[in-house]
Amino acid sequence: MYDIGMLIVQRAGLAAENHVVPYARTVLSLQNGTADMVLRFTNDELRQVAHQVAPVLQLPTVVVSRREAPVQRLEELSHRTLSVARSFPVPERLSQLPGLQLQAVNNNEHAIQMLMGRRVDAAYGSNLGLFGAARGLGLRMQALAPPVVVERQTFWLHLSRSRATPALIERLSQAVEALQREGAIHRLYERALEAFGDDRMPA
Protein backbone atom coordinates (compact mmCIF):
# COMPACT_ATOMS: atom_id res chain seq x y z
CA MET A 1 0.00 0.00 0.00
CA TYR A 2 2.94 2.31 0.65
CA ASP A 3 4.22 1.71 -2.88
CA ILE A 4 0.75 2.08 -4.40
CA GLY A 5 0.24 5.34 -2.55
CA MET A 6 3.51 6.70 -3.93
CA LEU A 7 2.55 5.61 -7.45
CA ILE A 8 -0.74 7.50 -7.21
CA VAL A 9 0.71 10.81 -6.01
CA GLN A 10 3.54 10.64 -8.52
CA ARG A 11 1.13 10.02 -11.39
CA ALA A 12 -1.04 12.90 -10.13
CA GLY A 13 2.03 15.16 -10.13
CA LEU A 14 1.86 15.84 -6.41
CA ALA A 15 4.57 16.09 -3.78
CA ALA A 16 3.74 13.93 -0.76
CA GLU A 17 5.19 12.27 2.31
CA ASN A 18 3.94 8.74 2.92
CA HIS A 19 3.60 7.41 6.47
CA VAL A 20 2.53 3.99 7.75
CA VAL A 21 0.36 4.35 10.89
CA PRO A 22 -1.91 2.08 12.97
CA TYR A 23 -5.29 1.54 11.34
CA ALA A 24 -7.38 3.55 13.80
CA ARG A 25 -5.01 6.53 13.59
CA THR A 26 -5.85 7.07 9.92
CA VAL A 27 -9.18 8.68 10.83
CA LEU A 28 -7.60 10.81 13.57
CA SER A 29 -4.91 11.95 11.13
CA LEU A 30 -7.53 13.23 8.72
CA GLN A 31 -9.44 14.90 11.53
CA ASN A 32 -6.48 16.74 13.04
CA GLY A 33 -4.93 17.69 9.70
CA THR A 34 -1.73 15.65 9.97
CA ALA A 35 -2.77 13.71 6.86
CA ASP A 36 -4.56 14.75 3.67
CA MET A 37 -5.09 11.33 2.10
CA VAL A 38 -5.52 7.78 3.35
CA LEU A 39 -5.45 4.47 1.48
CA ARG A 40 -7.47 1.79 3.30
CA PHE A 41 -10.78 -0.03 3.61
CA THR A 42 -13.58 2.39 4.39
CA ASN A 43 -16.03 2.52 7.30
CA ASP A 44 -18.74 4.88 8.55
CA GLU A 45 -16.31 6.82 10.76
CA LEU A 46 -13.95 7.44 7.85
CA ARG A 47 -16.72 8.50 5.47
CA GLN A 48 -17.63 11.32 7.85
CA VAL A 49 -14.23 12.99 7.48
CA ALA A 50 -13.08 11.92 4.03
CA HIS A 51 -14.24 11.87 0.43
CA GLN A 52 -13.92 8.50 -1.33
CA VAL A 53 -11.93 9.39 -4.43
CA ALA A 54 -11.49 6.07 -6.21
CA PRO A 55 -11.41 2.30 -5.60
CA VAL A 56 -7.79 1.17 -5.75
CA LEU A 57 -7.45 -2.55 -5.00
CA GLN A 58 -9.74 -5.36 -3.91
CA LEU A 59 -8.29 -7.72 -1.29
CA PRO A 60 -9.56 -10.86 0.44
CA THR A 61 -10.24 -10.48 4.13
CA VAL A 62 -9.38 -13.62 6.06
CA VAL A 63 -9.53 -15.34 9.40
CA VAL A 64 -6.12 -16.68 10.40
CA SER A 65 -5.53 -19.24 13.15
CA ARG A 66 -2.65 -21.30 14.53
CA ARG A 67 -1.63 -24.46 12.76
CA GLU A 68 -2.17 -26.62 15.86
CA ALA A 69 -5.62 -25.12 16.52
CA PRO A 70 -7.05 -24.40 13.07
CA VAL A 71 -10.30 -22.60 12.37
CA GLN A 72 -11.61 -24.19 9.18
CA ARG A 73 -15.10 -22.66 9.01
CA LEU A 74 -16.44 -19.35 10.27
CA GLU A 75 -19.05 -21.15 12.38
CA GLU A 76 -16.21 -22.56 14.49
CA LEU A 77 -15.61 -19.05 15.86
CA SER A 78 -18.84 -19.11 17.85
CA HIS A 79 -18.04 -18.56 21.55
CA ARG A 80 -14.39 -17.93 20.70
CA THR A 81 -12.18 -14.83 20.57
CA LEU A 82 -11.09 -12.96 17.44
CA SER A 83 -8.53 -10.15 17.31
CA VAL A 84 -9.05 -7.32 14.83
CA ALA A 85 -7.32 -3.98 14.36
CA ARG A 86 -9.29 -1.02 15.72
CA SER A 87 -11.37 0.70 13.02
CA PHE A 88 -11.07 -2.30 10.66
CA PRO A 89 -14.56 -2.99 9.20
CA VAL A 90 -16.02 -6.28 10.46
CA PRO A 91 -18.83 -7.78 8.34
CA GLU A 92 -22.09 -8.96 9.90
CA ARG A 93 -21.42 -12.59 9.03
CA LEU A 94 -18.60 -12.39 11.57
CA SER A 95 -19.90 -9.93 14.13
CA GLN A 96 -23.22 -11.75 14.47
CA LEU A 97 -21.75 -15.19 15.20
CA PRO A 98 -23.21 -16.43 18.51
CA GLY A 99 -20.92 -15.71 21.43
CA LEU A 100 -18.05 -14.34 19.32
CA GLN A 101 -15.80 -12.01 21.33
CA LEU A 102 -14.02 -9.33 19.32
CA GLN A 103 -10.70 -8.20 20.78
CA ALA A 104 -9.69 -4.77 19.40
CA VAL A 105 -5.92 -4.43 18.92
CA ASN A 106 -3.60 -1.67 17.72
CA ASN A 107 -2.56 -3.16 14.38
CA ASN A 108 -2.00 -6.41 12.46
CA GLU A 109 1.25 -7.12 14.28
CA HIS A 110 -0.58 -6.91 17.60
CA ALA A 111 -3.32 -9.21 16.23
CA ILE A 112 -0.75 -11.86 15.27
CA GLN A 113 1.09 -11.52 18.59
CA MET A 114 -2.18 -12.10 20.45
CA LEU A 115 -2.86 -15.13 18.26
CA MET A 116 0.53 -16.75 18.68
CA GLY A 117 0.49 -15.95 22.40
CA ARG A 118 -2.76 -17.95 22.63
CA ARG A 119 -4.66 -14.96 23.96
CA VAL A 120 -7.16 -15.18 21.07
CA ASP A 121 -8.31 -18.06 18.88
CA ALA A 122 -7.96 -16.28 15.55
CA ALA A 123 -7.19 -12.95 13.89
CA TYR A 124 -9.13 -11.09 11.19
CA GLY A 125 -7.83 -8.70 8.55
CA SER A 126 -6.68 -8.46 4.94
CA ASN A 127 -4.52 -11.19 3.47
CA LEU A 128 -1.55 -8.86 2.94
CA GLY A 129 -1.97 -7.19 6.32
CA LEU A 130 -2.00 -10.32 8.47
CA PHE A 131 0.50 -12.40 6.53
CA GLY A 132 2.80 -9.40 6.14
CA ALA A 133 2.63 -8.82 9.89
CA ALA A 134 3.41 -12.47 10.58
CA ARG A 135 6.43 -12.38 8.30
CA GLY A 136 7.59 -9.12 9.84
CA LEU A 137 7.48 -10.78 13.25
CA GLY A 138 9.73 -13.56 11.97
CA LEU A 139 7.05 -16.27 11.82
CA ARG A 140 7.14 -19.00 9.24
CA MET A 141 4.00 -19.38 7.16
CA GLN A 142 3.80 -22.98 8.37
CA ALA A 143 3.02 -21.71 11.88
CA LEU A 144 -0.40 -20.59 10.61
CA ALA A 145 -3.32 -22.71 9.48
CA PRO A 146 -4.69 -22.13 5.96
CA PRO A 147 -6.78 -18.95 6.16
CA VAL A 148 -10.57 -18.85 5.83
CA VAL A 149 -11.63 -16.25 3.28
CA VAL A 150 -14.51 -14.14 4.62
CA GLU A 151 -15.14 -11.71 1.77
CA ARG A 152 -13.42 -9.27 -0.56
CA GLN A 153 -13.17 -5.61 0.41
CA THR A 154 -11.87 -2.66 -1.57
CA PHE A 155 -9.06 -0.33 -0.59
CA TRP A 156 -10.17 3.21 -1.45
CA LEU A 157 -8.18 6.38 -1.83
CA HIS A 158 -9.73 8.78 0.70
CA LEU A 159 -9.17 12.53 0.63
CA SER A 160 -9.81 14.74 3.66
CA ARG A 161 -13.02 16.73 3.27
CA SER A 162 -11.16 19.81 4.48
CA ARG A 163 -8.75 19.53 1.52
CA ALA A 164 -11.06 18.10 -1.13
CA THR A 165 -11.69 20.30 -4.16
CA PRO A 166 -13.29 19.21 -7.43
CA ALA A 167 -9.99 19.78 -9.24
CA LEU A 168 -7.93 17.71 -6.77
CA ILE A 169 -10.51 14.91 -6.69
CA GLU A 170 -10.47 14.75 -10.49
CA ARG A 171 -6.67 14.80 -10.61
CA LEU A 172 -6.33 11.92 -8.17
CA SER A 173 -9.15 9.94 -9.74
CA GLN A 174 -7.56 10.19 -13.18
CA ALA A 175 -4.22 9.06 -11.73
CA VAL A 176 -5.79 5.94 -10.20
CA GLU A 177 -7.68 5.14 -13.40
CA ALA A 178 -4.50 5.45 -15.49
CA LEU A 179 -2.55 3.14 -13.17
CA GLN A 180 -5.41 0.63 -13.26
CA ARG A 181 -5.48 0.65 -17.07
CA GLU A 182 -1.72 0.11 -17.23
CA GLY A 183 -1.85 -2.73 -14.72
CA ALA A 184 0.72 -1.02 -12.47
CA ILE A 185 -1.28 -1.49 -9.26
CA HIS A 186 -2.03 -5.13 -10.00
CA ARG A 187 1.66 -5.83 -10.71
CA LEU A 188 2.61 -4.47 -7.28
CA TYR A 189 0.00 -6.72 -5.68
CA GLU A 190 1.23 -9.79 -7.54
CA ARG A 191 4.80 -9.00 -6.49
CA ALA A 192 3.68 -8.83 -2.86
CA LEU A 193 1.92 -12.20 -3.13
CA GLU A 194 4.98 -13.82 -4.69
CA ALA A 195 7.12 -12.63 -1.79
CA PHE A 196 5.22 -14.90 0.58
CA GLY A 197 6.12 -17.99 -1.45
CA ASP A 198 3.20 -20.04 -0.08
CA ASP A 199 0.29 -21.38 -2.15
CA ARG A 200 -2.04 -21.04 0.84
CA MET A 201 -1.91 -17.27 0.51
CA PRO A 202 -5.33 -16.30 -0.96
CA ALA A 203 -5.11 -14.00 -3.96
pLDDT in tens, 116-129: 999 999 999 999 99
User: Looking at residues 90-101, what average pLDDT do you find?
Assistant: 94
Query: Which of 131, 151, 171 marks a domain boundary?
Result: 151
- Among 25-29, 65-69, 70-74, 111-115, name the one with the lowest average pLDDT: 25-29
Tell me which residue range forms the domain holding 190: 2-58+153-196
Counted domains in the chain: 2
pLDDT at 87: 86
Let me know if residue 87 belongs to a domain.
yes
- Where does the pLDDT of residue 195 fall: very low under 50, low under 70, confident under 90, or very high at 90 and above? confident
Task: Based on the fold, state whether residues 64 and 112 are members of the same structural domain.
Answer: yes
User: Looking at residues 185-198, what average pLDDT do you find?
Assistant: 84
Predicted TM-score (pTM) above 0.85: yes
Residue 164 to residue 43: CA distance in whole angstroms: 18
Residue 203 to residue 199: CA distance in whole angstroms: 9
pLDDT at 22: 80
Q: Is the pLDDT assigned to residue 173 strictly greater than 60?
A: yes
Task: Based on the fold, state whether residues 51 and 83 are members of the same structural domain.
Answer: no
Q: What's the mean pLDDT when you consider all of the chain?
A: 92
Give the closest residue to 24 by CA, choosing from 110, 97, 151.
110
Angle at 66 between CA 148 and CA 71, to 5 degrees: 40
